[in-house]
Amino acid sequence: MAAVDSFSFLLREIERSCSYYIETLAIIGALYTAKTCLTVVSDIYTLIRLHFIPRLISRADLVKLYGSWAIVTGCTSGIGKSYAKELASRGVNIILISWNKETLEAFAKEIEDSYKVETAVIVADFSRGREICPAIKKALMDKEAGILVNSVGVFYDHPDYFTNLTEDKIWDLININIGAANMMVHMVLPGMLRRKKGAIVNVSSLSCCHPTPLMAAYSASKAYLDHFSRALHYEYAPKGIFVQSLTPSFISTNLTKFSSTLTKKSFFVPSADEYAHHAVTTLGLSKRTTGYWPHSILFLFAQYLPEWLWAWGACRMGCFL
């Protein structure tokens, strides 16, 4: 009988202990659910504030906010070209930097004829690294650049294993995707600080969210740009400088020509012009954004995906593209 009583007492103690732990877990679960709900609501609010409200009100006067000149690198194709046209449509004079002189001059004339703004061209091949800096710095001496858009970049010819990349491609990824942005910011930022206003836009990528197999060096370079931009914003926002990390997903440009699927425009794969039209409206509003609201939906999913699942998806997608 004593044994039975002892066993009953043990069961009651176990039940009491379990009840305590269950209540604790329930509280933790409720707090986690509440936090997740608040995060989702906050993300939805941010989506509306960034991508829909600005389109219902008058466009911001970028010249008044930042200055009369904007520098755009990688401006002869893709996002850079479309972003330059969008800035010009808002009355901003454009300094175009790229490696092909003939293409630069033709695009500069197109902008002047279409938008009645001034342009200047600087021929520079960022794949050559720091040796081009003195010439760029000299060309910018008499220009008060209020906006800098670091759009120049290179991608893989197609998703591939790192060892299959050539040494030239690896150095291009370093010099162009990382080095160019650092050099341009270092040249332009002091002038912005003297005027106590300016905006810097660094074009990163959605691939900065997680390590991305078959695009290892590319995604790493874009993660660098993302962290670089966010750190700069904390450093210089108190001094009147706005720094934005732009993290788009795939856009129908020359960079995606390796895939017949990604070269076709769709809901999640816009043209460069459509993307830039949306992205410019977020300037001054968010230090980190995809610039395009369907991409923001993808970004939300990407943030919550486990790294292993992202990596698995990247490998599968790379095999099919």
User: 70 — phi, psi (to 5°)?
Assistant: -125, 140
Decide: 153 and 126 in contact? Cβ < 8 Å: no
Measuring CA to CA, how many Å separate 74 from each of 2, 69, 162, 261, 275? 86, 16, 24, 24, 16
Nearest to 191 by CA among 137, 131, 227: 137
Distance CA 146, CA 92 (A): 9
**Element at 107 (helix H, strand E):** helix 101-115
Distance CA 281, CA 55 (A): 8
Task: Please give the angle made by the CA atoms of 158, 251 and 175, to the nearest 5 degrees.
Answer: 60
State the pairing for strand pair 241-246/69-73.
Answer: unpaired
Buried b (16+ CB within 10 A) or exposed e, 147-161: bbbbbbbbbbeebee
Catalytic residues: 218
Decide: 68 and 92 in contact? Cβ < 8 Å: yes
Nearest to 217 by CA among 170, 149, 272: 170
DSSP three-state, residue 245: strand
